[in-house]
Amino acid sequence: MSTVLVTGGSGFIGSHCILRLLAAGHQVRTTVRSLEREGDVRAMLKEGGAEPGDRLSFVAADLENDAGWPQAVAGCEFVLHVASPFPQNIPKNEEELIVPAREGALRVLRASRAAGVKRVVLTSSFAAIGYGQNPRGTPFNESNWTDLQGDDVIPYVKSKTLAERAAWDFIANEGGGLELSVINPVGVFGPVLGPDYSTSILMVQRLMDGAMPGCPRLYFGIVDVRDVADLHIRAMAHPSAKGERFLAVAGDFMPIIGIAKVLKDRMGAWARRVPTLQLPNWLVHLAALRDPAVRQILPELGKTKNATNEKAKRMLGWAPRSNEESLVATAESLVRLGLLKDSPKKG
């Protein structure tokens, strides 16, 4: 089995990638910004059912600094570059997001090329595919690219698009024998392993805590984090994945009110605070005057997007869980870990 580097092992997707690699018998190395996070990562993996012992090692490395990256990639056949900034709020300066995303990807690619890594699998996003344009009702696919001139291009969307573009340009111009595959997930849900989780999970948490008075007219693509990890490992190992990007989406995009209904139907008393009221757009615009986080969603109000997973299924044999299964697994894990307002574990 191979030695595989996973960048950002303390993150939601990164920790699930580590679980999947360990289950497949690989030796895993992961980067964290501080080695003090090792205990947290091992606790998350234990929650996921793994006690890797010396099959997992840690290197301190930051996306904004060269230090640590040569040691991180040394002796690795594959690299899963998962780490990337994803704040809950809009940064004052978009460069705070763009620079670490783009330069971090290039830093990892340069180190991988120098170390003789065979293939890097980059975690990009649907953000690099489905914004700034209207596909006129047809689902987005891997041939689509976000138009950075569009009115719905927030800094996060820009950062993911520019980082992925930079990665493909590097491979084309300076990559040498290094191979690249890219995964483009929609909103990532599924079982939380600890307090570090994605912004999409925060939406489920806020729905169940009653922190949202109603449901804005927003549509979300959904994919389970376990299936995102599985797709990374398939793209890492499959010969035909070289030079390809793969959309990670389970099914049709869902409105928030549909997500709320699933939680109401499946989570019993834990979902008693979940709102079922559809908020009119004017009310969301009013709330955005006071809340920068709400302001960030305004360009997406009422937009019905969709995306296809046909390529990942056809080329890599990928078989994702349903939207409902992912949402329920998300909610159940928030209950189990005591991350909801009424949880007895929170004391």
| Active site (catalytic) residues | 160
Rounded to whole angstroms, the Cα distance separating 254 from 256 reads: 6
The count of C-alpha atoms lying within 13 angstroms of the C-alpha of 112, restricted to the half-sphere facing its C-beta, is 33
Gap between the Cα atoms of 66 and 64, Å rounded: 7
